[in-house]
Amino acid sequence: MMVPMRDITFAKGHGTRNDFVVYTDHSGLLDLDPVEVRFLCDRRGGIGADGMLRAVRAKHILGWDGDPAIWFMDYRNADGSVAEMCGNGVRVFVRYLYECGLVNERSMSIGTRAGLRRAELLPDDRVRVEMGPVRVEPGRLAPTVPITVAEGTPWSRTWQAQPVDVGNPHAVSFTDDIGTLDLTHQPVWPIGEFPDGVNAEFVRVHDAGHVGMRVHERGVGETESCGTGTVAVAAATLSRLGVQVGPQEHMVRVDVPGGTVEVGLSRATPQAPVLATLTGPAQLVYNGTIVIPDLS
C-alpha cells in the first residue's frame, strides 16, 4: 500500500496549449525529485503536463547570484530533467504569480537558469517576455547538424538542422512538409552533437514575417508549442533569408499547432547580440490539490 507523503496545491495552465503544473514553494522545501515530477506530469496517473514550474524565491536556488527576493521559475521537463528556460512556461508563470497575488505589478522580473527575464502582462491579457540574446550558429556548435526523424521506420527522413542558442539548445530544420512528419520518435543526431539533448524544430517559411512550426522537445516529446523554439525558429529564418536585424524590432508571426505567438528581434548595432521578445497568450485553467504518494 502506498503511503501519502505530502500534498501539493497547484494550478494547471498553458501557453498555446503547451501545458504546465505550477505550484508555490515559499520556503524552498518542496523541491520535487524526478520521479515525483514524472508522476505529476503523467497524463493518466497524475495531473498531466508537458512540464512543471516551481515558484520559489531566488535565494533558495543554488548558484543564483542576482536579487535573492525575486521569484525564480524552477522548470522541469515532463521526464523530470532540469531545463534552463521555457518561453511558454514563463508566460504561464507570470500569469500565475499575478493572479495568485504573489506580485502586484503587471511588469516583473523573473529568475531562470538562463538568466533574468523581464515580463509584462499586456492590456489584451497576452504576456510579453524579454527573452534575452538569441544566437544562430554559436561558436561551440557546427554550422549545421544532420537531424533524422523516425529513424529505422519507413518514414525516416533527414535534414540539415541549424543550431540556435536561446539560453537552451535548439536545432532548426526547414521543410515545406511539416504536416506529415512522424514526431512520435525522438529525432536523432550524430554522437557528440548536443550532449545535453536538443529541442528539434521543423519549419515551413511563408515569408520573413510568418512561419509555421512543429517541435519535438527534449525530455517531453512532441508538444503543441515551444516558446524558446519559436524564438529560435524566427532567428534562424531571418538568418536563412539574409534579413539584417536592426534597432527597430522585426516581428515574426509563428504558427504552432496550439495557436500563434509573435517573436520580435532587434539589435542595437551590427556588432551587438540579437535580442528577442516573445508575446503570446497564457491561461490558467484550474486549481487543485494532489497527494504525492510514496513512489519508492
* Domain range annotation of the chain: 4-126+282-293, 134-280
Q: Do domains 4-126+282-293 and 134-280 have the same CATH topology?
A: yes
pLDDT at residue number 250:
97
pLDDT at residue number 80:
95
* Active-site annotation holder among 86, 127, 256, 263: 86
Fold of 134-280: Diaminopimelate Epimerase; Chain A, domain 1 (3.10.310)
Strand pairing class (274-280; 259-266) = antiparallel
Instruction: Please state the three-class secondary structure of 59-87 as a single string.
Output: HHCCCCCCCCCCEEEEEEECCCCECCCCH
CA–CA gap between residue 268 and residue 245 (Å, rounded): 9
pLDDT at residue number 6:
82
227 marked ligand binding residue: yes
CB count within 10 Å of CB 35 equals 11
192 marked ligand binding residue: no
CB-count exposure of residue 114 (10 Å: 0-12, 13-18, 19+)? buried
84 marked ligand binding residue: no
pLDDT along the chain (296 residues), means of 10: 70 97 95 95 96 97 93 96 93 97 97 95 96 82 83 87 93 92 90 90 97 95 95 96 95 97 96 96 97 84
Buried b / exposed e across 116-134, counting CB within 10 Å, b at 16+? bbebbbeeeebbbbbbbbb
CA–CA gap between residue 262 and residue 280 (Å, rounded): 6
pLDDT at residue number 139:
57
Annotated catalytic residue 86: yes
Q: Which three-class secondary structure state does DSSP give residue 209?
A: coil
91 marked ligand binding residue: no
228 marked ligand binding residue: yes
Task: For residue 136, give the C-alpha cell.
Answer: 544562430
* Active-site annotation holder among 226, 238, 252, 282: 226
Residues 21, 49 contacting (CB under 8 angstroms): yes
Helices (H), the chain: 34-41, 87-99, 227-241
168 marked ligand binding residue: yes
Return the DSSP state at 172: E
CB count within 10 Å of CB 93 equals 31
CA–CA gap between residue 216 and residue 149 (Å, rounded): 10
Q: Which three-class secondary structure state does DSSP give residue 41?
A: helix
pLDDT at residue number 140:
54
**Tell me: domain 4-126+282-293, CATH 3.10.310.10, correct?**
yes
The model scores a pTM over 0.85: yes
List Cβ neighbours of 251 (8 Å cut-off, separation of 6 or more): 209, 262, 263, 264
pLDDT at residue number 2:
44
Annotated catalytic residue 41: no
